[in-house]
Amino acid sequence: MDGLADLLERLLTAEEWRVLRRAGDVADLHGVELYLVGGTVRDLLLGKAPADLDLTGVGVDEGFACVLADGLGGRVVSRSQFVTAHVRANGVLIDLAMARRERYEQPGALPTVSPAKTVEEDLRRRDFSINAMGVALSRRRWGLLADPLRGLDDLERRRIRVLHEQSFVDDATRIFRAVRYSVRMGFALEEDTLGLLKGRLRFIETIGGERVWNELERVFMERRAVAMLRMAKELGVLAAVLPALALPSGALGTLPSPSKSPDARAKRLLALVAWPVLPVRMSALRKRLHLSRKMARVVEDAAAVKELLSALRARDLRPSRLHGRLEGLDAEAIRAAAIACGEPAAAHYLEYYLSELRGVETLLRGGDLIELGVPEGPRVGEALRELLAARLDGLVATREDEERFVMRKFHPHLDPPPSRGRM
């Protein structure tokens, strides 16, 4: 394939196409060789409208982002390391980076970068051949494909191929990416790449906890996250993070949509992969993944539910007792436990709690109880707990029922006052 000019015009929006044409002209004026690169090119070649517009340029320096933004009538919205920036113009977001070479001082370290002299040098430092292609944006070479590593051939063969033998050693996060790309696109891992991946799993230890968690979280947000986690388990990737990590067998139910409930989705999948971890290893898990307090609580709450399973096997567990055991625990941890426990009776109780009991409150409040004669102080809290248990167990339903319950407890010889009809 000589060029992608037709694909650019067909698959990009009219505004994206205009912005890229103008970006190429601005780059030409300033002696920058600008290319569309990476996953953007891969998606175009697969006939898909790209999710992102990733640009790299030979000759890009710290000031070029502002030059480009001015030329496009837009603005620089953010900058980050390695001379990269985001530019927004006419509703189009561009990810701009300096074409660069990378050198890794040691496995797992962030690379030392230097400007590349050609776009080919930049493409050779990338992860997989299908992500190592570029499309020229200059007026003279508009749409020409740069493919020094035969990425197009691998796209046609539907395979993921790593670029060199040290790739997974230099940056073991590429192991997670290989799994994601393979499942997302339905591509096979090329034979040598699969062998290298299996032989380099130990280098996941060189990646800091925050970076490992970021890779797992990216998996959690994928539409086919469960299939990716299964593949990661089969290849030994999860065990390389922490030996006990796995994905429980059996149906996993419906996951929340990543777009609508990303937090709930991440919580549930984290609780699921952490389910086999012994309570004594929870501290190691929190530390290894550098978990936030919120995410650490999820795995701790799932472990707490796991310890309750014997109590959840009872045939006549009262709703109030079930509520008392589970109230305050994270809902996604409980949902994950219902999926992973493999015990129908326990799963039934957990689902019943979530659908019927969680968040139930009394109609009366503390002030109402004091008006009914409950002594102020700790006894009010005790009375509210007793009243809640009665509501959960179906002993009271209305406000009048609750008032009668309280009166029987504290003034058994008196009738309750007329209800004031408050709800």
131-148 pLDDT, tens digit per residue, is 999 999 999 999 999 999
Number of other residues whose CB lies within 10 A of the CB of residue 242: 20
Point out the domain boundary residue: 121, 154, 187.
154
pLDDT at 81: 73
* CA 65 to the chain's CA centroid: 30
pLDDT at 1: 53
Examine residue 125 and state whether it is found in any structural domain, yes or no: yes
Point out the domain boundary residue: 134, 154, 174.
154
pLDDT at 373: 87
Same domain, 296 and 399: no
Kindly report the pTM of this predicted structure.
0.88
Same domain, 266 and 395: no
Position 314 pLDDT exceeds 90: no
CATH number at residue 53: 3.30.460.10
Examine residue 421 and state whether it is found in any structural domain, yes or no: no
Residue 419 binned pLDDT confidence (cut-offs 50, 70, 90)? low
Same domain, 257 and 314: yes
For residue 240, which amino acid is it? Answer: A
Same domain, 252 and 333: yes
Examine residue 235 and state whether it is found in any structural domain, yes or no: no
pLDDT at 62: 86
Same domain, 13 and 113: yes
Backbone phi, psi, residue 337, to 5°: -65, -40
Structural domains counted in the chain? 3
pLDDT at 248: 80
Examine residue 173 and state whether it is found in any structural domain, yes or no: no
For residue 274, which amino acid is it? Answer: A
Examine residue 121 and state whether it is found in any structural domain, yes or no: yes
Same domain, 333 and 370: no
Same domain, 304 and 375: no
Examine residue 164 and state whether it is found in any structural domain, yes or no: no
Examine residue 293 and state whether it is found in any structural domain, yes or no: yes
Position 422 pLDDT exceeds 50: no
Q: What percent of the chain has pLDDT over 90?
A: 80
Q: Distance (Å, rounded) from C-alpha 111 to C-alpha 117?
A: 18
Same domain, 294 and 371: no
Same domain, 335 and 258: yes
Same domain, 26 and 149: yes
pLDDT at 257: 87
Position 420 pLDDT exceeds 80: no
Same domain, 134 and 263: no
Examine residue 395 and state whether it is found in any structural domain, yes or no: yes
221-271 pLDDT, tens digit per residue, is 999 999 999 999 999 999 999 998 988 876 566 788 888 899 999 999 999
Same domain, 68 and 143: yes
* Least confident window among 222-236, 280-294, 407-421: 407-421
330-383 pLDDT, tens digit per residue, is 999 999 999 999 889 999 999 999 999 999 999 999 999 999 888 888 999 999
> Which domain does 28 fall in, by range?
5-154
165-208 pLDDT, tens digit per residue, is 999 999 999 999 999 999 999 999 999 999 999 999 999 999 99
pLDDT at 421: 46
Point out the domain boundary residue: 127, 154, 181.
154
Residue 80 binned pLDDT confidence (cut-offs 50, 70, 90)? confident
Which residues is 87 bridged to in the sheet? Answer: 76, 94
